[in-house]
Amino acid sequence: MLLDLQATTKEAAIDEMINSLVDNGVVTDFDVFKSGIMAREAQTSTGLGDGIAMPHSKNAAVKEATVLFAKSNKGVDYESFDGQPTNLFFMIAVPEGANDIHLAALAELSKYLMQDDFADRLRQVTSADEVIEAFNIGEEEEAQAEEAKKAQAVKEAASSDKPLIIAVTACTTGIAHTYMAEESLIKTGEKMSVNVRVETNGASGVGTPLTAEEINKAVGVIIATDKAVETARFNGKN
């Protein structure tokens, strides 16, 4: 990990992180891995906003699946969606040909980042032990939130008269945007007093598929994707 990233521009930050992966024996060829990272950035920036970026590549130069955490105390102009400086980086390196279990596990990171205090805790860390502690707390909070969400969903399904909105989220690699969009939609639904049920189409395939009953009951459909998904089942819905 890098707790004091020195770069202040996007490409320099990428170079600094890749050099760390090379130095630690995770990446065998700087140029090959960087070409994969930059090709992904050319599709759309992995600067997610809120000071967070998740550059990633599934690449022949990677020896083992790794997430490099880096923190910038200065802030980096990373061409993020919100135009604000980025200070938390998670560079994801996955071997070419690796199965999607790795990507599904890495996608959990996105759920941590949607927690109210997780990113702020990481911004305050000054040691590796503090980074580990932040993740331990995040894991505990995620487990508690999931249990509470399941219990609430069962309760609302049985008695709720709130409108139901169904949604599908997906991105080209299915690592970050898919799951962060899911969390954002659910939170927005809670604020608007509507139930939002999301089908994710991520790295490991379709998660929590929408049922025919849910589609029939829904008063609206949201498609938040940047890749093709099956939509014929929603014909007749708004």
Kindly report the pTM of this predicted structure.
0.66
Q: What pLDDT is attached to residue 228?
A: 82
Query: Rounded to 5, what percent of the chain is helix, strand, coil?
Result: 45, 25, 30
Which CATH number covers residue 84?
3.40.930.10
Task: Tell me the residue length of the chain.
Answer: 238
- Active-site residues, by number, are 56, 171
Do the domain assignments include residue 85? yes
Shared domain for 174 and 91, answered yes or no, is: no
If you ran DSSP here, which 8-state letter would residue 51 be given? T
Q: How far lies 31's CA from each of 23, 34, 197, in Å?
A: 14, 5, 42
Q: What pLDDT is attached to residue 159?
A: 60
**CA 69 to chain CA mean position, Å:** 14
pLDDT in tens, the chain (238 residues): 999 999 999 999 999 999 999 999 999 999 999 999 999 999 989 998 899 999 988 899 999 889 999 999 999 999 998 999 999 999 999 898 876 655 665 677 877 887 878 999 999 999 999 999 998 998 888 778 777 776 676 566 546 678 889 999 887 765 667 777 888 888 898 899 898 888 888 766 777 788 888 888 888 999 988 788 888 898 887 6
Which CATH number covers residue 212?
3.40.50.2300
Range of the domain at 169: 157-234
Do the domain assignments include residue 220? yes
Residue type, 55: P
Q: What pLDDT is attached to residue 91?
A: 93
Do the domain assignments include residue 27? yes
